[in-house]
Amino acid sequence: MSFDLILFGGTGDLVWRKIMPALFQAFRHGSLPEGGRIVGVARDDLSDDQYRALIKSRFDNVELAKRPSEEEFSRFAALLGYLRMDLSNPADYAALAARLQQRPADVVVMYMATAPSLFTTVCEQIAAAGLNGPQTRVVLEKPLGHDLASNRAINKTVRSVLSEQQIFRIDHYLGKPSVQNLFALRFGNSLFEPLWRRETIANIQITIAEDLGVEKRGAFYDSTGALRDMVQNHALQLLCAIGMEPPINSHADAIRDEKLKVLRSLKPWTPETLGQHVVRGQYAAGTIDGEAVPGYRDEKGVAPDSRTETFVALRTEIANWRWAGVPFYIRTGKRLGSRDAHIEVNFRPAPHAIFKTSMAGSNVANRLVINLQPKDGLELHLLAQGADQRSGNHHARGTPSLAPVQLDLDFDKRFGSERVGAYERLLLDVLDGRLNLFVRSDEQEEAWRWVEPILDSWSSDSGAPRSYAAGSWGPSAASAMIARDGYCWSEEC
């Protein structure tokens, strides 16, 4: 299968940090189809060779195992080309069309690695240049809009020139191997499905924590914030994967229909729940790995009086028969205690205790932890009788004692070099036309509809986000929120 992959924003941060390394790994693994061309598009005045040299230099910033050798890059570079374009100039799209027509491809992928404000312009110009034929697929990065109205406007424009089957709204969390194994755990095995419900599960926690600050993205982040950047997309997609009903098959629309039902079942916000079940924070100066780091308002590009949240914690419920009454907790933030993303499924305690346990406080005896990053795998926490019962007559001394143990499956150790990264998997799915791991427009709009009352509440609130020290786990109010239900975050139990 021949393909053309056009990277709008081809000299930008996303291309060299994520997309090019993923394409190279697919090339190294032999999974990138032959007969392909990868064309970077940007305003910079570069030749093909200069673009190849730029990409080569950027690979020095990629982790060592993913860097190409001289010989590997030489072969990969043969796929790369460059075209200078002003994305608002119709004549430049005509030049792109002429270049693509030199060798027609079976599939043409237009990847929008640009500011979201350019999505509609690019899609309209693609159509005007006749580049929206049935072989064309468009990849849209998040955030797709900044609220429900802008999201609808983008979707309306894109759908006016492309069919839904040609639109790939990417959320790279859905491409993570651990998320794929969450689907496999639920729908490929019978072990947990009978337990995956309110009768046996006490609560579910989703944590997406970063120890980094805003780095060089201060200006972008200050107009976005953690709710738009992480909750509306990544966190809600993870919640859907946990909470959805089994689809009738593995087809894209069957999966996305079930995710949509979850989003529509989320409890709507009220003034009371907005006050009690949503916490926003902003990091102040602190210490990360022994080094002093500045507060958010001292970062480059951030307004000195910024009220943008760098931390969000919230509590919600899925109002249906499977999950009624089970709290789902979501938290995400920057400059937290460590880089850690995981889902924790906490099961209810045994209905009648006949053993003593060494566990204190509100620790949960039985829990399933799905690790997303930096560790990738599953942990199953159980209670077992320890080796301290040595005399054989422990019943005479009283009730036997149980201690916590865990079964740990590390996917990196188990599968090693066979692992496929998130962007690599998703890019190959685009080339193959598989929509299973991409977000449909109605899903996206429903997610925006659900978070919009939070945004509206914050915009009308003159108060600043709660401050938390860099290197901590966020404002104390996040701990108080979950403690009101009698639970605690994993690092606090």
Alpha-carbon span 133 to 212, nearest angstrom: 42
Reduce the DSSP state of residue 428 to 3 states and report it. helix
- In the structure encoding, which two tokens stand for residue 183, read together? 């689907």
- In the structure encoding, which two tokens stand for residue 342, read together? 């995981």
Calculate the CA dihedral of residues 388, 393, 395, 401 and round it to 10 degrees. 0
Please give the single-letter amino acid code of residue 105: A
Cis ω for the linkage preceding 194 (within 30 of 0)? no
Say which of 29, 146, 234, 277 is annotated catalytic: 234
CA distances from 193 to 33, 264, 278, 346 (A): 37, 22, 30, 15
Alpha-carbon span 330 to 474, nearest angstrom: 13
Residue 234 known to be catalytic = yes
What are 292's strand-pairing partners? 287
CB 312 within 8 A of CB 230: yes
Angle between helices 422-432 and 177-187 (to 10 degrees): 70
- Nearest-CA neighbor of 288 among 230, 232, 349, 210? 210
Angle between helices 236-243 and 177-187 (to 10 degrees): 20
Catalytic site positions: 234
